[in-house]
Amino acid sequence: MLNVAVSGRDVFDAFKGTLNFVFRRNARLSAGFTIIFCLLLIAVLAPVIAPYDASTVGLHLLDRPPSFEHLLGTDTLGRDVFDQLIHGLRQSLIIGIFTGLAGLLVGTTVGIISGYKGGWVDDLLKSVTDVFLVIPTIPLLVVLSAFVRYMTVPYMVVILAIFAWPFPARTFRSLVLSYRKREYINMAKLSGLSDMKIVFKEVLPNMLPYVSTTLANTISAAIMAAVFLELLGLGPQNTITLGTMVYWAMERAALIRGLLWWVFPPMIVIVLIFIGLQLINIGLDEVFNPRLRRGVTA
């Protein structure tokens, strides 16, 4: 039986319709989106919310507990913790989102080419992906970051992106493999559409739901890895991120001196990012995979 040709536009409309439906129905997805949206809003509005210089040392009294003047107190270097938190959030999200997008872009491209082309191209790309998937990335990340003498946010994105693409690549390869045999792809081929057109008009729109979950995953993994490096003291040196905040707090023994307002806020915000992304992920899974819904919500 031949399927009625579905254009990308139709799929997109259906996707939008589902989203509308879902937001009213799936509590986890809405909660996740709300958390991430608020954090993004704060990050975008950072210069408005915290217009003061967050990274300059010695502007304020040292080690002040939270007050009306300094909502989250000040640190041992005389910086306002709230200002740092807002700007740190911005930088951490920038690292996460750009790494996530880079990983997704490279991963999807590799995965689609690999799955769609097959043959030796697939063999080659699949072996490279497999090597990256099994190599322990954390020690390599540490060594690579030590190689960059003066770490900045863009460098960090590049280093993290090296390890961010293999998972999307594997996911999309197997997805494309399952689509390749479908009737409508055959129809498109028979009607003489070019490979590029088939990929962009027929294959890609079908994978939109997976694109969104994969993006949430890669962003989460990227922020996790970034925080890890930052806690080792290998983070960006010219800007404040959430991870470097925790690093400096630990470096100055903030915990043992009871400067809790310095250590815990960045940790809480980091965990909030992870929880938000995770909720989005579970929610999307439930929406696009109704079999799961019965299982998870009960």
Q: Which residues bind another protein (CB under 8 A)?
A: 127, 130-131, 134-140, 142-144, 146-147, 149, 224, 227-228, 231-232, 246, 250, 255-256, 260, 263, 267, 270-271, 274-275, 278, 282, 294-296, 298
Q: How far is the CB of 272 from another protein (least distance, A)?
A: 9
Q: How far is the CB of 224 from another protein (least distance, A)?
A: 6
Q: How far is the CB of 173 from another protein (least distance, A)?
A: 10
Q: How far is the CB of 136 from another protein (least distance, A)?
A: 4
Residue 298 burial (CB count, 10 A): 5
Taking the least distance from each CB to another protein, the nearer of 204 and 270 is 270
**Terminal alpha carbon distance of the chain:** 38
**Which residue bears the tokens 């806690």?**
231
Q: How far is the CB of 135 from another protein (least distance, A)?
A: 6
Cβ–Cβ < 8 Å for 49, 86: yes
Taking the least distance from each CB to another protein, the nearer of 57 and 146 is 146
Taking the least distance from each CB to another protein, the nearer of 2 and 298 is 298
Per-residue DSSP letter, 200: I
Per-residue DSSP letter, 162: H
Query: Which amino acid appears at position 74 of this protein?
Result: T
Q: How far is the CB of 160 from another protein (least distance, A)?
A: 15
Taking the least distance from each CB to another protein, the nearer of 144 and 198 is 144
Taking the least distance from each CB to another protein, the nearer of 208 and 231 is 231
Taking the least distance from each CB to another protein, the nearer of 155 and 200 is 155
Q: How far is 156 from 144, CA to CA, in rounded Å?
A: 10
Taking the least distance from each CB to another protein, the nearer of 202 and 230 is 230
Residue 144 burial (CB count, 10 A): 18
Q: How far is the CB of 294 from another protein (least distance, A)?
A: 8
